[in-house]
């Protein structure tokens, strides 16, 4: 919950500004809030676009996003068992 509040305030402060941010694999859930995403591998941009474009086009970003969703789903299932 604290993370959500922090990022809500951060995104509000970044409105109408150009921001370059690095999102680790653990923060992929934030990507839908960005206007433009670049996927970088080995120091080179291998795919870029809007979140919608990247998640509706077959490619490395879609694969990464699907893995993220599967992991999040498994984690939610584990939380329910506790």
Angle at alpha carbon of residue 14, lines to 35 and 33, rounded to 5°: 35
pLDDT 10s digits, 4-41? 898 889 889 988 888 888 777 677 888 998 899 999 99
Residue linked to tokens 């922090």: 6
pLDDT 10s digits, 44-61? 999 999 999 999 999 999
Q: How far is CA 52 from the centre of its chain?
A: 12
């Amino acid at each position: 919950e604290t993370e959500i509040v922090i990022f809500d305030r951060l995104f509000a402060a970044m409105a109408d500004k150009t921001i370059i941010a690095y999102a680790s694999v653990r923060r992929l859930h934030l990507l839908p809030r960005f206007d433009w995403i670049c996927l970088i591998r080995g120091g080179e941009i291998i795919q870029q676009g809007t979140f919608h474009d990247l998640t509706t086009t077959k490619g490395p970003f879609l694969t990464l996003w699907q893995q993220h969703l599967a992991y999040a789903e498994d984690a939610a299932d584990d939380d329910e068992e506790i």
